[in-house]
Structure 1
Amino acid sequence: MRSRSTLLTIAAFVIALILSMVIAGGSATVIEKRTKSEVRLAMETQDHSWVQVQTDGLQVILNGTAPTEAERFRAVSLADKYVDSSRVVDNTDVENTEALSPPPFSMQMLRNENGISLIGLVPASVDRKAIVDDLKKVVGDEPVTDLLETADYAVPAGWDMAMKYGLSTLETLPRSKVSVQAGKVSVQAITDSPVEKGRVETSLARRRPADLKLSFDISAPRPVITPFTLRFLIDADGPHFDACSADTEKARDQILKAARAAGAKGTLSCTIGMGVPSTQWATAASMAIKSLGELGAGTVTFSDADIVLDASSTVSQKTFDDVVGELESNLPAVFSLKATLEPSAKAKADEAQFTAIRDGKGSVTLKGRVLDARQREAVENYARAQFGHDQVHGATRVDATLPAGWPVRTLAGLEALTMLHDGTLSVTAKKIALKGTTGDAQASDKIARLLTGQLGEDVQMDLQVKYDKRLDASLALPNGKECVSRLNDSLAKAKINFDPGSAQVSADSLKSLDTLAKAMKNCTEFRMEVDGYTDNQGGSDMNLQLSQERAQAVLHGLLDRGVLTGNLVAKGYGEAQPIAPNDTEAGREKNRRIEFVLLDETPVDNGLDASAQGRDTAEPQWNGAITDDVGAPPSDDGAPAAQSSQPAADSTDPVPVETPDTNTPRPKSRPAALDKKG
C-alpha cells in the first residue's frame, strides 16, 4: 500500500510538472507573439518598414538595411521602448553612402573707408595669408579682416580664375562688394560720377575672362543740375529735346509723355538730378511742352523757374495770344513766363553776326563782327587759351553799332564751342546757333545750361549737336586704322589656311576664324576690303579666281559667326603683290594670305544726334548679364556708359562681291594711309 501511495504521489508531481511546463510554454508563446506584433506595428507606424522583426523566446531580433545611420539608431531605440534593451538583438546594417560632395565655396570681399573684410568658405589650399598681404598693399594703413573659414576639399573648377578676377576688381573699387564663386563673380559698387560709372562698367566687361560669368550693379550719385534746365523744340527736324532734366523717375515719365503727345518720336530721355526749383517742375514742363505743340513751331526753355517760349514766325498772332494766355494763366505760381513771337525773315536778314568755325583738326577761324579793337583782342586771346595759341585764325571786323552785351554773347558762344570736336558757332543779337559733332553724349545739355546760366533764361538758342561715339574717350573705341591693324595682327598670329586648290577653310583654321570674328568687335562700321592672295603656282587666271573665292569664304565665315558684313567687300588679287619670294615653299606659304585694307576712315554711322536728347543718344540697355559682345547700360541720369558695337549695316544686307578683273591691280589712287600697311 505504501509503495502504491508513493507511486501515486510521484505521478501527481510529474503530471503537475508537465502541466506547468505546458502552461508556461503557452504563456511564453503568447508573450512572444504579442511582443513581435507590438514591435512590428511600432516600426510600421514610425516609417521603419525596412526593419524585419523576429522573436526567439523573450528575445527580439531586428534585421534589415537602414538608409542612414540615424534611421538605424532610431529603429533600435524604438524597439527598446517595448522590450528591455538586453533582450534586443540588433542585426541591422546601413546602406553604403557616397562620399560627401564638397560644400559650395564662396567668398565675399567688402571694401569701404574702414578697410576690407573677407567673409565666406574657401578651400583649405587657398593661401589666405598671401591674399591678406596683397590687399594690405592696396589699402595701406586700413585694416584687412580675415573672417574666412576653410574646408579640406578639392578646389572646384573655375575657382582660381574667379578669385583672381575678383581680387583685381576689388583693388580698383574703393566702395564695393565683390562676391566670388567657382566660375562666377558678382560686383556691387558705388562710383563718384556717371562718367566714372561708365568707365568701371567698360573695364569690368573688357577684363572678364571668356569662361567667367559676370554680373555687376554699379551706381553713381545723381548730379546736381545748376541751373535746372529743359529745352524742347519743334523745328524742321520735328519735336525733340535739346536738354531735359527731371527730379524723379515719375517726373521724367510725365515730361516724356507730354513730349510724345506733342509729336516727339524715337527714344526719349531726361537727365535725373538734384536741384529742381519746385516740386511742380514736371507739371509746368508738361504744360509748356503741350503749349508749344499747339503752336506747332518754336522753342520753350526752362532755366530753374524762368520759362522762355519763342514761337516761330509761322505762328499767327491770334494763335500765339491764345496759347500763351492759357499757359500764363495756369502755370504753377513759382514759375514766370516770357513769350515772344519770332520776327519775319526780312528783319532777320539785317542782323549782325559773329562766327567761329572749328574744323576738328585743331584749327579755329573767327569771323564776323566785334564791338571794338579791345573786344577783338579779348576774343582772340580767349580763343587761343581755349583751343591753342597757334590754332586760332582771326578775321573779324569792328562795328561800333553792335548791341549791348555783344562781347558776353561771343565769349559764351566760344566757351560752348569748346564742348564740340568740330562745328560752327553763330552769334547774333537775337540768337546763338551752334552746330557740330561731339564725343560727349551730354554736350547739348551742358551747352544749354551754360548759355542760360551766362546769358539769362531768355536767350534764344539753336543747338544742332550730334554725338559721335567714336569721339567718346570713355568708350575708347578704335578708329579705322586701328581696326585694320588689329585684324591683320589677328591673321598674323592665327593664319587662315585653306584646303589645297580650294576655297574651303581648313578644319585647323576654324579657330582662327573665331578669333578674327572677335577682333571685328567695334570695327564693323568702317568700310574695309577683304583681300585674297595666292602664290604663283598654277595659271594666273585660276589664281585670281581662287583668291577671290577665298576672300569671299572668309567674309562668309565672319557672317556665320554673327559679324555684320555690310561694310566689307571681298577682293581677290591672285598672285599679285607677293610679300616673299615664290621660289621656296616658305615664301609661297607667306604669299598665300588674307589681308584687310581700310577703304574709308569715316565710319558709315558717323555719330548720333545728341540734340535729340534721347531720340538717338540712348545707349544700349543692360540687364547686368555679360556676353562676348559686352556692352553697358545707361544710368538713370543719362550718363554715357559702356556700349556694345552697333554697326549701321543691317545683317540682312547682301554681302558685296566685286567681280575679279584680271587687268585691274589694287587701286593706286587709294591714300597711303589707308593701305594694308597702315
Structure 2
Amino acid sequence: MHGLFRWSSKWWPGVIPLVIFWAIAAWTSTEPLEADLVQRSTAALKDTVLDKTRIVVEGRDVTFVADAFSEDGRQSAVASVEAVPGVRLVNDETRLVPEAKPFVWSAERDVVRVTLSGSSPLPESKSKLTEAARANLGGIEVVDRMNLSRGAPPRFDNAALLLLDQIGKLKDGKITLSDTKVSLSGMARDLGGREAISAALKNLPEGFSVAANDVKAPPYIFQAYKDPVAVTLTLTGYVPDNNVHAALVAAAGRKFFSEKVVDNLKASVGAPAGFANAVVPALGALSRLSTGTLVVSDREVKLSGDALYEAAGNQIRAGLGKDFPQGWQFKPEISVKPAAAPVDATVCQQLFAELLGKARIRFESGKADIVADSAGLLDRLIETALRCPNANIEIAGHTDTDGDAAANQALSEKRAQSVTDYLVKAGLPANRFMAVGYGSTQPIAGNDTEDGKAQNRRIDFVVR
C-alpha cells in the first residue's frame, strides 16, 4: 500500500495540466457555436415585431427575452427561435407589453416644445409620430415620452398623424386621443386657425369623433399709433375684408389731415360684430389727441394719449363709448398735453393759416352740420386759439357760386356760427369770436372746376 501512494504521487501532478487543457478546449469549442446560435436566432426574428429583445446562449440552450405586442406574435417569435437548427432548448422569458385601457395618446405644445405622451401601439408607430412632429414643426423641440402599449383602436396611426398636423396650428395647447375620442384645448396661432382645425377634424378616420374642441381664437387685434414726431398714423392688425380695409384707410385719411397713413393691415376672419362701427369713431377720437395709441382687442377699445386741452379730454372720456355698438367696452387713458407757450396775434394768425391750409372744416352737404371727421382739425384750431387768449377772432364762412346767392350767403353765416358754437362749447369765451358769412363773394380759386369750388367752400380764422 505504501508503494501505491508513492506511485500516485508521481502521476497526480501531471493530471492537473490535462484538466486545464480540457477546459480551455471545451470553452474555445463552444464559443463559436454560441455566437452562431445568437446570430441565427436573431435572424429568425427579423420579420417579427418585438421590443427589448435579448438572446443569451449557453451551449445549445437559448434564453429568449422580449416584449411582444400580441399573444400570436409572442408565440410565433418563440417558435421561430425553437426552429433554429442547433437549438436544443428555449427558455421562454417573453411577455406581452401592458394593455392600456383606455388607450390614451396626447400631443402638448408650449412656447418652445411639443411633448408626445401616452401610449403608442408599436415601435414603428412611435418613430413615425416623432418624425412627423419634427417635420411638421420645424425648429420646435419634440420630446418623446410615449410608452408602448397594447389596445390601440384600428387606424390609430392615421388619426394621430392628422392630429399632429393640428398641433402646428396652436400657439399653445393640447390634443388628446382617448380610444377613438378626440379632445382639443388651447389657443390658435393665427386668426382663422380655429376654423382650420375644425375643418381638418372632419377628415378623422372612420370611427373617430371629436369629444371636445375648446381651441380659442387669438384676440382680434387692430391698432393705430399716432406719432407726432414722424407725423404718421400707423395702422396694424386685422380687418374683416378688403372693403372694410379700404373704408378704414379712407376714414383715417379724412380724420388725420396732416399725418401720413402707414397701412400695415391684413384681412382675416374672426372680427367681432360691429367691428367697423366701433373702429371708425375710435379713430376719430385718436385724431383729437396730440399723440396716442388705439388698441382694439375683440370688443374692447383702449385709447391712450394726450388730449390737446382739458375739455377735449373730458369729451373723449365721456362720449366715445356711446358711439359703440352694443356689447363693446371703452377703456380710456387720456391725459392732457401741457399747454404750449402763448404767442402774439401775428403768430396766431400764421398758425391758423397753416392748419387751414392743410385741411378744411367739413360740413354735411348743403347744411351747417359739422362732420365728425373735422374733430381733429377743430381741436388743433382750439389749441391755437388758447395760445393767443387776448386776440379776437373772426370766424368767416365762404361758399362757391353754385346755387342762389342769397342761399349761399345764409349757408355761409350758419356754418360760421356752427364753428363758433363748437369753440364756445369747448370752453373758449364767446366774446372772443364773431361769426361772419361772406357767401360766394370772396373766392380764392376759380368756380369753373370742382377743385376750385372745393377750395372756395371754406371757413377762415381771421385774427382781429
- The structure showing larger relative contact order (alpha-carbon pairs under 8 Å, at least 6 residues apart) is 1
Give me the TM-score of the superposition, normalised by structure 1.
Answer: 0.24
- Return the structure number with greater strand share: 2
- Return the structure number with greater helix share: 2
Give me the TM-score of the superposition, normalised by structure 2.
Answer: 0.33
